[in-house]
Amino acid sequence: MLRVRNSKKMLHFFKHFKKEPIEALLFLCAFFSIIVLFLMLFFTAKEGLQAFFTFGIDLIIGQTWKPSEGLFGAFPLIYGSIMVVSGALVIAIPWGVITAIFIAEVLPFSIRDIIKSIIELLASIPSIIYGFIGVLYIAPQVASLFGISFGTVALTASLVLAIMSVPTILGVSGEIISAVPKEYKEAALALGATKWQTIRNVVIPIAKSGILASIMLGFGRAIGETVAVLMVSGTVARIPTPPWNFLSPVYPLTAVIAMQMGEAAVGSREYSALFGLGLILFILTFIVNTLADIIVKREPKIRSGKK
């Protein structure tokens, strides 16, 4: 019974496509991207899980990453990724969010769009360019400012990643802030609140979850970045001493994979360990992006008071 009904439905489905070939094309495109996502997840998991079977929990908590010695402890690498990204967020969150508020609330309407699109151009610069700028200009500055012998350290990587994730944070939180209903702001102003009081007590609380989501998207952008990070992070697989020393080189996950995958023989232990790192990274970004998605989706309910 169910089968018949389903097949009738399917038939209807395809008949519909026959009438509307362009819709079939759209369907195929959408379907294809889903297939690609699942295939990527499947292959990363297939190779990556192998690493977890081989090395066990050591892959995550092991302290030494020395592929040539057969030591695959990725903790310094995971630590490097998280350190660099948190440094970047510490810089990028105030920068991005304050700029978003400034653009949406303070800037005159006439130049708002221009300024916004100029800043969003930052997002369209290829990451290798950020890498160049980081290596050639930011790293020497960091080195001479802090008196260290080379500037490709965690701080430099954080600075570069901060610049790269500002457009993401700015774009998303800007949208949310400008979507705060005008009536609320007008009500606050009519009650005698100053512009700053309105922003602090009305706009920010309403846009709060959207801003949080934008920060998570910024995190996702920063942790997945590879080329620029490879160029400026210093590529040393060791936890800095002391651990919060931003003036030591680190070796984030993405950089390790990019650097070592080319030389790893297919099927070797190193190869599967690198896929294991990929899986860790995949899971990290997947969780963060899903959280951001959930938070953004929750947002319209808050604004549903608007008629």
Residues forming contacts to another protein in the complex (CB under 8 A) are: 64-69, 76, 149-150, 152, 230, 234-238, 249, 251, 259-260, 262-268, 270
Read off the DSSP letter of residue 123.
Answer: G
Do 71 and 65 form a contact (C-beta atoms < 8 A)?
Answer: yes
Q: List 71's β-bridge partners, or say none.
A: 66
From the CB of 247, what's the least distance to another protein, in Å? 12
Q: Could you tell me if residue 147 is left (phi over 0), alpha (psi between -120 and 50 degrees) or otherwise beta?
A: left
From the CB of 135, what's the least distance to another protein, in Å? 9
From the CB of 117, what's the least distance to another protein, in Å? 12
Do 282 and 223 form a contact (C-beta atoms < 8 A)?
Answer: no
Residues 22, 28, 30, 33, Cα dihedral to 10°: -150
The tokens describing 130, both together, are: 């950020």
Q: How far apart are CA 165 and CA 142, in angstroms?
A: 20
Q: How far apart are CA 65 and CA 207, in angstroms?
A: 43
Q: How far apart are CA 160 and CA 88, in angstroms?
A: 8
Q: List 66's β-bridge partners, or say none.
A: 71
| Nearer residue to another protein within complex by CB, 149 or 304 | 149
| Nearer residue to another protein within complex by CB, 139 or 180 | 139
Q: How far apart are CA 245 and CA 243, in angstroms?
A: 6
Q: Minimal CA–CA distance to 134: which of 6, 231, 65? A: 231
| Nearer residue to another protein within complex by CB, 45 or 148 | 148
Q: List 65's β-bridge partners, or say none.
A: 72
Residue type, 237: A
| Nearer residue to another protein within complex by CB, 60 or 143 | 143
| Nearer residue to another protein within complex by CB, 20 or 263 | 263
| Nearer residue to another protein within complex by CB, 112 or 238 | 238
| Nearer residue to another protein within complex by CB, 56 or 267 | 267
From the CB of 270, what's the least distance to another protein, in Å? 7
From the CB of 58, what's the least distance to another protein, in Å? 16
Q: How far apart are CA 87 and CA 275, in angstroms?
A: 26
From the CB of 152, what's the least distance to another protein, in Å? 8
From the CB of 157, what's the least distance to another protein, in Å? 13
